């Protein structure tokens, strides 16, 4: 969540919302949150896990529909599964 916050500080177009998943189960279910951190971009694209900065930025840009110069694999990172 820190990277998302830092991106919001770096870009006036980005808003970062850190959601306590257990406190908002309906929202968590809406975005099929099964592990954390789970990042949702513009309520459309998402990825799970803590990513390195470069991968995080690429994933956000791709999720926001920005055309990337270099192709990259689908990204995932270490995450914690949420028990039901």
Q: Which residues in this chain contact another protein in the complex, by CB under 8 A?
A: 1-2, 4-24, 26-28, 31, 33, 36-43, 53-54, 57-58, 60-61, 64-66, 80, 82
| For another protein, the closer CB: 4 or 75 | 4
| For another protein, the closer CB: 12 or 71 | 12
Query: Cis bond leading into 74, ω under 30°?
Result: no
CB of 18 vs another protein, minimal distance in Å: 5
- b vs e for 29-47, b when ≥16 Cβ sit within 10 Å of the residue's Cβ? eeeebeebbbbbbeeeeeb
């Amino acid at each position: 969540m820190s990277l998302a916050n830092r991106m919001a500080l770096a870009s006036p177009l980005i808003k970062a919302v850190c959601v306590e998943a257990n406190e908002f189960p309906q929202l968590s279910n809406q975005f099929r949150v099964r592990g954390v951190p789970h990042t949702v971009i513009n309520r459309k694209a998402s990825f799970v896990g803590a990513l390195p900065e470069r991968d995080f930025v690429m994933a956000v840009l791709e999720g926001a529909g920005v055309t990337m110069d270099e192709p990259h694999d689908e990204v995932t990172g270490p995450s914690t599964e949420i028990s039901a």
